[in-house]
Structure 1
Amino acid sequence: MSTEQKAGQVLMPFFTGTDFAAQAAAIERLHLGGSIVMGDNVPLSSDGTVDTAAMAAGIGLLQKAARADGRTWPAVIGVDQEGGVVARLRAPLTEWPAPMSYGAAGSVALATDGGKALASELAGLGFTADFAPATDVTAGPQDPTIGARALSGDPDAASRLGVGFAQGMLAAGLLPSVKHFPGHGSVSVDSHENLPVQKATVAELRAKDWKPFQAAIDAGLPMVMTGHISVPALEPGVPASLSKPSYDALRGMGFKGVAVTDALNMGAVQKKFPGGSAAPKALAAGADLLLMPGDVAGAHAAVVEAVKSGAVPASRLDEAAQRVVTMILWRARTPAPQGAAPGSGSALSQRVSAAAVTVLAGPCHGPIVPGSVRVAGGSEQDRARFAKAARAAGIAIGTGPLVTLIGFEGPPAKGDVVVALDAPWPLAGSAAPAKVALYGRSQEAFNALAAVLAGKAPATGKLPAAVGPHAPGSGC
């Protein structure tokens, strides 16, 4: 391969809108390793749901462009589909609850099944990679970015569940990517905006934040995403994604797979390294796959120039390109996944939420509410879904105790029953005789909630992280 071809192979850009033909032309022209599909790239039907036929056709165009470039291996076509808040493709695909549901359910088998089902629907559309799961260990309310995207606040649980979920994804034919090394769950700044600083020592990181990454490496998982987090114990002032000591630390843990950066167009990087300038720096530091550079043509030119000038050793580009190609060839060696029909995971999604529902205050047996309730809080969709689930469970809407829903990042609330639909932290300051953590706002999550409120199902979930005075493991 020429330097230009190898430089393309380590780039995974984004594009705007649904013009897959233009992105396909860029893949062929710049020899790109693949493409990420973001929310605005998803073609929609007239009713606002995903046009799955158009989505599959668009991905087909991108793969055709990779083959037209003379490659004998597929492109990496990835997406951010974690479940909960982070899901680029909505209905008719299955809507999954927040990943913290698996921590509350405490079942590795359920996490593996969930990972496989989520990935099977994506594989059916032609995706080859999913930037999930987030194996960050959440520190609780002072963690503004990860929250319920984390599986748990316990590093050992996050390790077991993260490996299980990722192995399920692999079984469905999708490449998982554990993220965000060196751990985004215990920093208090959002790297989409500015550069967070992780002040822990290396020994402290090994004992907590790095545990799930070590487990992933020991399990032979193929890809680790590095976050835009400064670790003074490794290299002060430089995001881990662009820091050689950070990549050295990751490799020192035994990792031999593909190190992919978090999106290079995020605030933590763009403010200091605008345009394409971050790409050669990340490559030189040890990244193998450069995700979402602000300007892909500029990044490609910058990498080629850096190699030709000697600023980036040619051997470093060779190593990165070889790792990316090896990973995709390795994935392509497994039998082609059949893929699952969109929406086929609905029953499993409800089973996950049913296993996760956590009652922090209120009765553990029998009905929590009478035959009729009022509902407030959340979004209009949340309230409509609650009402639908309640009626199906035999609970009327209009009079009776007040059920208050706390939506994503909502403040503490008051009511007879307060339900947190995302991270459970707002329950700590809420005033209510009954408090419930649901970790999801899908229709299936509300169905699970209504069954518990009506006394038709037990609440078996346990808190995966502390909520105010409630210790991890609290619940019925």
Structure 2
Amino acid sequence: MNEHAPVILDIAGTELSSTDRRRLAHPLTGGLILFTRNWQDHQQLTQLCADIKAVRPDALICVDHEGGRVQRFRHGGFTHLPPMRAFGELWMRDALAATQAATAAGYVLGAELRACGVDFSFTPVLDLDWQDTTSTQVPAPAAARGRAAPAGRPGASRSGVIGDRAFHGDARVVTLLAQSLMLGLLQAGMANCGKHFPGHGFVRADSHTEIPMDRRSLKAILADDAAPYGWLNMALTSLMPAHVIYPKVDSRPAGFSRRWLQEILRERLRFTGAVFSDDLSMEGARRIDGRLVSYTEAAVAALAAGCDMVLLCNQSLGDGHSVDELLDGLAAAQAQGQWQPDPAGEQRRLALLPVGQPPGWDELMVQPHYMQALRLLP
């Protein structure tokens, strides 16, 4: 077992190339994230995952598979899951039906992925569905300060990048629906990942292309957006911080901030699960302390702040030079003492790997529990 394999990479195609195999075998590679370009149908995906495990049995095979507009595999047998807002809307009509439906969605999501050999999905989104205050929608949420849950959130979200990916605007509703979805994932043998800590829903800017700034106080953020992380800290197995700067707390984005990840997340909220960086190729990760940084510098900063794993996405396309640059650069940084492997972080990574043999695709399709879950989806 490696001391610490923190890098999550991607691949360009639907099967492994010799270069992919070499990168997977690198001692710092701990996993691989899949995208729509890596998928044709469930048979091809199953073979690809088997090939990955043949090279690296302990690799964590990941995907962004939430439902709605963030679902990498949509056809070829995969159920097209609704966006999470659909469960929040159902909650306003029938809370019990909403929790049942969220559990069903978690099971369908996890079971279909596991039937193809995928280990892990970056879900659920715990961001709040804040409404644009320039519209006529209900006031911004303040659940932890005692206001009642909103009567409905039909208008435009403040954050376009989050939008209908969020369950609801009330932290209590988000927590209960996320917990239900996580139960479904657990039934399928899959871990979970809450995102984007401490909250991305309040800011309009998209951290893929900009550096969002949330100027609220720590007290306000903990009372609303970060509340689900505290309430779910015994159920969350991992989380992903936001590429957002909260200047009243720290000058660095949350994923590069020891204050957020160590003092607040680990010590104050007592979170014990794994922490992923968000994609290091996003604009919100490329500038730290006002300076454009390399992928290696960003990875070192994230690991030093308290991330257990760092993601580099969509850089395998073309010559993939950036992927090799990160692996070589991180190895050199380790040799120079710029970061130290964390055996506890490695254990947290390994704990995300599923346990037990899932049913195959054909067996899953006729499983009574799976068919019942399909009937419960909104």
TM-score, normalising length from structure 1?
Answer: 0.65
Distance 2:36 2:330 in 1: 28
User: Of 215, 227, 244, which aligns to 1:229?
Assistant: 244
Moved more, 85-94 or 194-203: 194-203
Counterpart AA for 2:13: G
The CA distance in 1 between the partners of 2:360 and 2:193, in whole Å, is: 19
Q: Deviations over 1:69-109 (max 9, x none)?
A: xxxxx321011111110010011211111111111112222
One of 61, 75, 78 as aligned partner of 1:77: 61
Q: CA deviation at 1:210?
A: 0.7
1:346 to 1:197, Cα distance in 2 relative to 1, 3 A:
farther
What fraction of aligned residue pairs are identical, expressed as a percent? 27
Aligned length: 328
Asked if the contact 2:126–2:175 (Cα under 8 Å) also holds between the matched residues in 1, the reply is: yes
Corresponding residue number in structure 2 for 1:99? 84
| Residues 354-383 of structure 1 deviation map (CA, whole Å, 9 limit, x = unaligned) | xxxxxxxxxxxxxxxxxxxxxxxxxxxxxx
Give me the whole-angstrom Cα distance separating, in 2, the residues matched to 1:60 and 1:260: 24
CA contact (8 A) 1:94 1:346 kept: no
State the Cα deviation string for residues 177-222 of structure 1 (Å, max 9, x = none): 1111011111111111111112121111111101111222133x21
- Structure 2: distance between partners of 1:320 and 1:146: 28
Structure 2, unpaired ranges of 5+: 92-97, 132-156, 316-321
Tell me the residue number matched to 2:37.
Answer: 40
Of 324, 329, 351, 1:297 maps to 324
Alignment partner of 2:229 out of 213, 222, 227? 213
Q: Distance in 2 between matches of 1:86 and 1:343?
A: 23
Corresponding residue for 1:54? Answer: 44
- Of 14, 30, 36, the residue aligned with 1:18 is 14
CA deviation after TM superposition for structure 1 residue 172, in Å: 0.2
Q: 1:283 aligns to what?
A: 303
Q: 1:431 matched to which residue of 2?
A: none
Contact map agreement 1:227 1:241 (CA 8 A) in 2: yes
Task: Work out which of the residue numbers 170, 175, 185 in structure 2 matches 1:169.
Answer: 185
Q: Which residue pairs with 1:250 in the alignment? A: 265
Report the equivalent of 1:322: 347
Distance in 1 (alpha carbons) for counterparts of 2:74 and 2:242? 26
Q: Corresponding residue for 2:138?
A: none
Give secondary structure in 2 for the equivalent of 1:337.
Answer: coil
More relative contact order in 1 or in 2 (CA 8 Å, sep 6+)?
2
Flag the structure with larger Rg: 1
Structure 1: where are the runs of 5+ without partners?
Answer: 45-50, 68-73, 354-476
1:296-445 correspondence to structure 2 within 5 Å: 296-312=323-339, 314=340, 317-328=342-353, 331-332=354-355, 335-338=356-359, 341=362, 348=373, 351-353=376-378
The farther-off stretch of 272-281 and 89-98 is: 272-281
What amino acid sits opposite 2:38 in the alignment? N
The corresponding residue for 2:137 is none
Return the alpha-carbon distance in structure 1 between the equivalents of residues 357 and 334 of structure 2.
36
CA RMSD after TM alignment: 2.1
Shift of 1:343: 7.0
Q: Note the C-alpha offset of 1:31.
A: 4.9
Structure 1 residue 130: deviation in Å? 0.3
> Normalised by the size of structure 2, how large is the TM-score?
0.81
Q: Distance in 2 between matches of 1:196 and 1:212?
A: 21
